[in-house]
Structure 1
Amino acid sequence: MTDSLKKLMKEREALDSEIAKLRDETRRTALAEARELIAKFEIIPTEVGFAVKSASEAKATVRSPVAPQFRDPDTGATWSGRGKPPRWIAGKDRDAFRI
């Protein structure tokens, strides 16, 4: 490397460090101000667009079942096409089993 390139690289490292330090300080100040305003005006997360669910609400979220797309003609077993394929269809042409 040339001396000028080394010098520029050191300057860049110093600037990157200074930028990170200033960003951290600014972020801490902004968070403190935000917390103060939230407390002062009794703002709740949903008012600013944050969706908050309690632990019980999050667990209660249930996906609706998916309709089966494939059927085993021998046993009548079905498969939705999601997840790991069952043995009766694995490695075979799925069109032959389509409902």
Structure 2
Amino acid sequence: MTSLAELIAQKDELERRIADVRKEERANALTQARALIESFELSVDELFGKKQKAAKASLPAKYRDPVSGKTWSGKGRAPQWLEGKNKEDFAI
């Protein structure tokens, strides 16, 4: 029967060997990837896809100008047609 100390030593040796093999295989994979990228002239966008900006969700209108029909969601700067007026009078 093997002792706990022997098993731990075996485990440590195995983990070291795994790390060495992983490092070597990773280096080989990186060399192959670089060669393919160079030979096919691949771009970052082709490899990983373009990052798309998240579309801004438009907020529903809360206020409407009865003259022009323009609307405002209540967020951001108030429109000129609402300046100096009670916005509740224009609520939809």
Per the normalisation by structure 2, the TM-score is: 0.51
After TM superposition, the runs of 4+ consecutive aligned structure 1 residues lying more than 6 A away are: none
Mapped to 2, the partners of 1:52 and 1:65 lie a distance apart of 24
State the 1:67 CA deviation: 5.0
Q: Which amino acid aligns with 2:50?
A: V
State the 1:18 CA deviation: 1.0
Among the aligned pairs, what percent are the same residue? 33
Q: Secondary structure at the match of 1:35?
A: helix
For the pair shown, the structure with the greater C-alpha radius of gyration is 2
User: Cα RMSD over matched residues?
Assistant: 2.8
Per the normalisation by structure 1, the TM-score is: 0.48
Matches within 5 A, 1:50-61: 50-53=48-51, 61=54
Mapped to 2, the partners of 1:4 and 1:45 lie a distance apart of 52
Q: Which amino acid aligns with 1:51?
A: G
User: Which of 58, 64, 89 matches 1:65?
Assistant: 58
Q: For 1:2-47, what per-residue CA distance to the aligned partner results, in whole angstroms no more than 9, with x for missing partners? A: x611101111011011101110111011111110111011123454
Quote the residue 1:28 is aligned against. Answer: 27
* Unaligned residue ranges in structure 1 (runs of 5+): 54-58, 69-99
* Unaligned residue ranges in structure 2 (runs of 5+): 62-92
Mapped to 1, the partners of 2:50 and 2:15 lie a distance apart of 36
